[in-house]
Structure 1
Amino acid sequence: MTGSTSQPPAAPVSAPAGMGPRTAAVLVFGASAAVLVVEIVALRLLAPYLGLTLETSTMVIGVALGAIALGSWAGGWYADRVDPRRLLGPALAISGVIVAFTPLLMRATAEWSPPLLFLVAAGTIIVPGALLSAVTPLVTKVRLTTIAETGTVVGRLSSIGTVGAIVGTVVTGFVLISHLPVSGILLGLGGLLVLGGVVMEWHGRRRRSAAALALVVAAGLGSGVAPGGCDAETRYHCVEVLADPERQGGRTLVLDGLRHSYVDIDDPTHLEFEYVRAIAAVTDAFFGPGEALDAYHLGGGGLTFPRYLEETRPGTRSVVSEIDGGVVDIDRQLLGPDFGGGIEVRVEDGRLGLRELDGNSRDLVVGDAFGGVSVPWHLTTRRAMTDVHRVLDDDGVYAANLIDHGDLAFARAKVATMLEVFEHVAVVGEPSTVDVDSADREGGNIVVVGSDRPLDPTAIESALDARDTEWTAIAGDDVATWVGDAQVLTDDHAPVDQLLQPYDFTS
């Protein structure tokens, strides 16, 4: 007779107890949310120095995901070897101190040693990101008491962590950045994390450790404030308005460290930037002197050109789509009298604003929207150009400002796209930039023009000369030669950031 033996019941997993489900949920939820807050705000901190580009966003997201992976692995490894409760307080507190000092570290590095900025930025994301991501496996180990409930505990805490990450993302993007400076967000978050570490140490009866952490937060966080040089921090930009020492009414609007607009609050007809004078010259070449226009502006900035049109062409009606309401507020507060009358500013995305306009309703469309030095990709595509073409009347003109360098891959792709929509296209810029035979193009600002009526480069150059602008213009076959085999940009494929040549931020 073959005997059988029964297996003894599974023994409980040896794990420390003493943490309730609510405490566990709060820790996992809060730590996961904090990781996403740090990731999103890091993009805002880096934008003035590295630009708000696809590469910058990809770098920050990649580093943050790496930190999450590292923290999850390390947290699980240590949880099996050390009492997890002894690690939770220090993990929260150390990450909190680093988060609070992140604005100071990044901005100081950007000013004193720019080449090190990438490494410092990566460190300020990786260290707190890994420590905070370790919280979930540490808490999971504390909450596991039997093998029978492993799936339930792991699944519940994983879902809570995911919800925390979602809430951190939404609250940061829609609430915090709209109402608080980024330095204030990180300082407040750092303080909360250190406070959480103090509470965990105190609850674990490690009173000396808790007292030491309290001293750190009291002494350190105050010196962690790094307001930066912004006059205002909007949802999209660090905004400064700089007075021109050589012109009493001159003001320069600086967004994320880059000059975007120049406004003379005493004389709206003064156009400081050469590309704005070029757009004015294009307007003069195709519309009679003083003729009132129905204009639409993709991007507002300091509203330099809408103000100019209102002053020089009485009766002109301009509709402006500016995505950043904070910039519009700065326009009203610091860049001259409250605009009104012929200028209507709509806080909206330009692509969506185009769709709201009636067909054949505009004499002039001006494109001057930028994220850093790049035109937002969705405003460059064939579909976007088709929308521009739709709102223009039969003799309407589209004039857009671009920035590119090197072999002008982006600018040539933009013009190639316009050639598929408009019957006539002209390119206006520095002679070396638009010279079809030049092998050494300097790049910089370029104004591209599209219309269904013929564009006479001679008329544009005469208007440029009248404004003491040493730019030149090409049209017709010269534009086709200049474009070469450049790709057409579509909603399905518009690699603007990759085509755009590196910008020299030291100039």
Structure 2
Amino acid sequence: MSSPKSHVHVDVAPPAPVTGRALPNGLAAFLVFFASGAVLVLETVALRLVGPYVGVTLQVTSSVIGIALAAIAYGAWTGGWLADRRDPRPLLAPALVLAGIATAVTLPVVRYAGEVLRGGAASAILLLVAAAVFVPAALLSAVSPLVVKLQLADLRRTGQVVGRLSGIGTLGGITATLATGFVLVAALPSSVIMVGLAVALGLTGVALGVYLRRQDRTGLPGPARVRAAVAVLGLAGAGLAAVAPDPCDVETAYHCASVEVDDSRPSGRTLLLNSAQHSYVDLADPTHLEFEYTQWIGAVADVAAPAGQRLDVLHVGGGGFTMPRYLAATRPGTDNLVFEIDGGLVDLGRAELGLRTGPELRAEVGDARMLVAGEPAASRDLVVGDAFGHLVVPWHLATREMAAEIHRVLRPGGIYVQNVIDYPPLRFIRAEVATVAAEFRHVALIAPPAALRGEYGANFLIVASDEPLPLTTVEERLAPLDQPTRLLSGADLTAFVGDALVLTDDYAPVDQLLATA
């Protein structure tokens, strides 16, 4: 016996609104684009803010990226949590205003904290980067989930709304990264970028609050005392920014640079890059070499050819242009070609360090790795490698492939000298000597004896050629120097290097080799 078929009819109710009134689509897109872009501006500029205190190394760069991502994660999480518990509309304007205040306060906080945390230990790097990035980035990252919740008026369009706003936020970050890296940093000091961003965030938040108040009487939180407190915080941040210590005389595209007068030598000038001593020049006497490593380079250059004979010299890195000026003075007619990535240092050299460019001293702005590749083979008698990012040789200038390019550019019998800074346990200098020795038949190393024993960090000078080096003559030149110096070669150098890694473009962990821990 069959039973009649039953038909079950289920009434499907129309989707319920998820929130109150949505924002206009254009305004929602703008807020997500602007807030996401502001986070990436903060991340890009943060590296320049902390650089004068903890350097610009792989660890610092990794810390900036990691802290920024943590701020984005926690900010988005918190913004989503709040959006589910409160109406997001009244929260948007305060989030932007508070982010603006936090951005304005970042500048003095980093500068005061940087003086305390100066150095480069991992804890100092993380603390300083967190002070530069975390709070404003977290506040800005809360904006997107608040806007998304407002726009979810129809559950059937959840994927479309979330996907569109997520894409717009990503485009905002991409746009801000490119604009900051290619335009803002080249045109404006970091302090101006930060203050400008703070003002833009504050004005956007205030304008949004006024708009929302007119629409539905929401916006900035009600009590006048709250608004007054916000205004006072903003003014306090601006005031602290104005009086905060500034470690830079000039902020170039790559460095925080300053020039100090030597009290004991009125014509002496010390160039500091990211607060570290980089070069010393004597405006009245270009033959004066103050720093030990420049004296070593001078000793090698002095015996590279008969006294006074002109040379064709390539300098990888300019800095204060100490060695080009020395060679131009001691060997008239010498062709000094300097590859310097930072055009701002060339301008600073002309303005304050006695640099006079001309036929005998030419400065070409660009990345040395690219520029060396364009140099004719067998065109130089001497190549001086003295390029640093803070206190670290840029990894792509420390590889076997770079040494091969230097080898190609040198004439038979030409000499390559490379300045390297390392610290105990001396893993990087050992690797760099092994790397240069993979391309040159004869290699020597000049350094303080105590530094070679691993007692402290110091400059090391690698000397290389395909022809036997004039080691005896170089040692005679080094003997009268004030500081004890040792020249390693042959079996002694082989024992010092041991089984050190040869660095290549495929594998050059320079920052890790330099780590002291």
TM range (shorter): over 0.9
- Look up the SS of the partner of 1:262 in the other structure: strand
Any conservation in 2 of the 1:110–1:117 contact (CA below 8 Å)?
no
Deviation string 1:393-434 (CA, Å, 9 cap, x unpaired) is 111100010111112100000000111100000001112334
Q: Distance in 1 between matches of 2:67 and 2:207?
A: 29
- The structural deviation recorded for 1:117 is 6.9
User: What one-letter code is carried by the residue in structure 2 that aligns with 1:54?
Assistant: L
Q: Distance in 1 between matches of 2:135 and 2:116?
A: 22
The corresponding residue for 2:314 is: 296
The corresponding residue for 1:89 is: 93
The equivalent position to 2:492 in structure 1, one of 475, 478, 490, is 478
Deviation string 1:449-476 (CA, Å, 9 cap, x unpaired) is 1100112432211121255553121212
Counterpart mapping for 1:418-433 below 5 A: 418-433=436-451
Any conservation in 2 of the 1:92–1:193 contact (CA below 8 Å)?
yes
The equivalent position to 1:53 in structure 2, one of 45, 53, 57, is 57
Counterpart mapping for 1:61-460 below 5 A: 61-112=65-116, 114=118, 118-205=126-213, 206=219, 208=222, 212=228, 213=230, 216-217=233-234, 220-225=237-242, 226=244, 228-336=246-354, 338-434=356-452, 438=453, 440-460=454-474
1:499 aligns with 2:513: yes
Any conservation in 2 of the 1:278–1:469 contact (CA below 8 Å)?
no
- Look up the SS of the partner of 2:479 in the other structure: helix
Q: Distance in 2 between matches of 1:280 and 1:116?
A: 37
- The structural deviation recorded for 1:12 is 2.8
1:17 aligns with 2:21: yes
- Look up the SS of the partner of 2:463 in the other structure: strand
Structure 1 stretches (4+) deviating beyond 6 angstroms?
none
User: What one-letter code is carried by the residue in structure 2 that aligns with 1:51?
Assistant: G
Q: Distance in 2 between matches of 1:15 and 1:180?
A: 42
- The structural deviation recorded for 1:119 is 2.6
Shift in CA distance, 279/98, structure 1 to aligned 2, threshold 3 Å = same
- Look up the SS of the partner of 2:328 in the other structure: helix
Aligned-residue sequence identity (percent) comes to 48
Shift in CA distance, 473/24, structure 1 to aligned 2, threshold 3 Å = same
The corresponding residue for 2:216 is: none
Any conservation in 2 of the 1:201–1:209 contact (CA below 8 Å)?
no
Any conservation in 2 of the 1:292–1:316 contact (CA below 8 Å)?
yes
Q: TM-score, normalised by structure 1?
A: 0.94
User: What one-letter code is carried by the residue in structure 2 that aligns with 1:81?
Assistant: R
- Look up the SS of the partner of 2:10 in the other structure: coil
Q: Distance in 1 between matches of 2:340 and 2:279?
A: 13
Any conservation in 2 of the 1:250–1:262 contact (CA below 8 Å)?
yes
- Look up the SS of the partner of 1:12 in the other structure: coil
Q: Distance in 2 between matches of 1:502 and 1:326?
A: 32
The alignment covers a number of residue pairs equal to 499
Residue range with higher mean Cα deviation, 66-75 or 263-272:
66-75
Deviation string 1:358-404 (CA, Å, 9 cap, x unpaired) is 00000000000001111000001010000000000111100010111
User: What one-letter code is carried by the residue in structure 2 that aligns with 1:471?
Assistant: T
Deviation string 1:160-195 (CA, Å, 9 cap, x unpaired) is 101110111111111111121111111111111111
Shift in CA distance, 215/472, structure 1 to aligned 2, threshold 3 Å = closer
- The structural deviation recorded for 1:337 is 5.0
Q: Distance in 2 between matches of 1:290 and 1:103?
A: 51
Shift in CA distance, 109/32, structure 1 to aligned 2, threshold 3 Å = same
Q: Distance in 1 between matches of 2:39 and 2:223?
A: 24
Unaligned runs of 5+ in 1: none
Q: Distance in 2 between matches of 1:59 and 1:390?
A: 38
Any conservation in 2 of the 1:408–1:501 contact (CA below 8 Å)?
no
Any conservation in 1 of the 2:110–2:131 contact (CA below 8 Å)?
no
Q: Distance in 2 between matches of 1:408 and 1:348?
A: 30
Q: Distance in 2 between matches of 1:76 and 1:60?
A: 24
User: What one-letter code is carried by the residue in structure 1 that aligns with 2:140?
Assistant: L
Any conservation in 2 of the 1:106–1:117 contact (CA below 8 Å)?
no
The equivalent position to 1:26 in structure 2, one of 30, 34, 41, is 30
Q: TM-score, normalised by structure 2?
A: 0.93
Residue range with higher mean Cα deviation, 209-218 or 9-18:
209-218
Unaligned runs of 5+ in 2: 214-218
Deviation string 1:19-65 (CA, Å, 9 cap, x unpaired) is 11111111111101110111111111111111111001111110100
CA RMSD of aligned residues (A): 1.9
Q: Distance in 2 between matches of 1:366 and 1:112?
A: 36
- Look up the SS of the partner of 1:396 in the other structure: strand
User: What one-letter code is carried by the residue in structure 2 that aligns with 1:421?
Assistant: E
Q: Distance in 2 between matches of 1:345 and 1:116?
A: 37
- Look up the SS of the partner of 1:204 in the other structure: helix
- The structural deviation recorded for 1:501 is 4.1
- The structural deviation recorded for 1:111 is 2.3
